[in-house]
């Protein structure tokens, strides 16, 4: 396929993927994927339903290990360190994830954010409440919840719940944040808030986002990868993918001719 490693070479690759093949039992879902995820940039993954975007995203922090008979082959490096052989708890602390359906725990707003800190430990000398506040501020949710921290997370709106899940992921200070269609259930205002948040987070975090929304990819992403039937067909700077795609399939997809 195309030389997918090009874009990230222009900046440092936080994650380097080489020759990734992925199988669910006997069925192959990803074919020979190679790409570099640029550090402190936003990379969007697009493509029709079932093309392997979520599968790819999950391999980056080994969430696929929760699926029976799922198997990844190839090289995945985080800052040059082998992801496959890394301690998985440490890996997931460094590479956090936010899912399509916001999934707050049946706990208070405060406890949702404090959870990861309690499990992973947090710096001595800094009260937990300060760290929770800082994460809620980073997720642009603090002002909306500061007077109801001890109410159930389920009392929040969908967009607020999604930002709560982002705050929970951010609490342990991940270096990489993976987001699988985080806005698919949100209205345009809530979506705009998440997009603003992603821009702000780019200062401190490497972001990979799966989205079905072409405008969203065009708005937020520095780089965009187009998947089709388990293959990475095109990967380049977002403006190139959306204005001068090299492959016919990419053009057909982004102009809505299929998918
Ligand atoms: N747990 C699983 N067990 C078996 N096959 C799976 C599993 N999850 C996904 N697949 C298959 O792998 C392929 C890729 O699925 P994946 O969920 O990665 O696609 P996607 O691009 O994220 O799609 P969507 O846009 O609908 O979320 C599909 O053919 C799907 O049926
Ligand atoms: Mg998916």
Tens digit of each residue's pLDDT (9 = 90 or more) over 193-202: 889 999 999 9
Q: With respect to residue 111, please indicate whether it lies within any of the assigned structural domains.
A: no
Q: Which domain holds residue 231?
A: 6-104+177-254
Share of the chain above pLDDT 90, in %: 80
Residue 94 included in any domain: yes
Nearest CA to ligand 1 atom 31: 50
Residue 49 Cβ inside 6 Å of ligand 1? The answer reads: yes
Strand ordering across the sheet containing 70-78: 27-38, 13-24, 70-78, 81-82
Q: What is the pTM of this model?
A: 0.92
* Residue 243 half-sphere exposure toward CB, CA atoms < 13 A: 6
In angstroms, rounded to a whole number, what is the distance separating the alpha carbons of residues 231 and 227? Answer: 5
Give the ligand at the shortest distance from the Cα of 30: 1
Establish if 67 belongs to a structural domain: yes
In a domain? residue 70: yes
Distance 147 CA to ligand 1 centre (A): 40
Residue 141 lies in a domain: no
Does residue 43 belong to any structural domain of this protein?
Answer: yes
pLDDT tens digits, residue range 190-248?
A: 889 889 999 999 999 999 999 999 999 999 999 999 999 999 999 999 999 999 999 99
pLDDT at 10: 52
pLDDT exceeds cutoff 80 at 46: yes
Report CA-CA distances (Å) from 40 to 65, 78, 171, 207. 26, 13, 18, 7
How many independent structural domains does the chain possess?
1
Does residue 235 fall inside a structural domain? yes
CATH of the domain at 188: 3.40.50.300
Provide the pLDDT for residue 100: 86
């Amino acid at each position: 396929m195309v030389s997918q490693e090009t874009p990230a070479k222009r900046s440092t690759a936080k994650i380097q993927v080489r020759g990734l093949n992925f199988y669910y039992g006997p069925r192959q879902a990803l074919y020979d994927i190679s790409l570099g995820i640029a550090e402190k940039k936003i990379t969007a993954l697009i493509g029709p339903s079932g093309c392997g975007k979520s599968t790819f995203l999950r391999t980056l922090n080994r969430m696929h290990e929760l699926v029976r008979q799922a198997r990844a082959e190839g090289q995945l490096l985080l800052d040059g360190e082998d992801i496959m052989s890394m301690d998985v708890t440490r890996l997931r602390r460094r590479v956090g994830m936010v899912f399509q359906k916001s999934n707050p725990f049946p706990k208070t707003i405060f406890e949702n954010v404090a959870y990861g800190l309690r499990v992973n430990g947090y710096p001595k000398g800094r009260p937990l409440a300060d760290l929770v506040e800082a994460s809620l501020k980073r997720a642009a949710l603090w002002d909306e919840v500061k007077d109801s921290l001890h109410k159930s997370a389920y009392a929040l709106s969908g967009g607020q719940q999604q930002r709560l899940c982002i705050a929970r992921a951010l609490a342990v200070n991940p270096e990489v944040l993976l987001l699988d269609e985080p806005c698919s259930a949100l209205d345009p205002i809530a979506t705009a808030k998440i997009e603003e948040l992603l821009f702000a987070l780019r200062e401190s975090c490497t972001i990979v986002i799966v989205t079905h929304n072409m405008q969203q990819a065009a708005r937020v992403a520095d780089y965009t990868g187009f998947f089709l039937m388990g293959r990475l067909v095109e990967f380049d700077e977002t403006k190139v993918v959306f204005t001068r795609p090299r492959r016919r399939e990419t053009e057909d997809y982004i102009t809505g001719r299929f998918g």
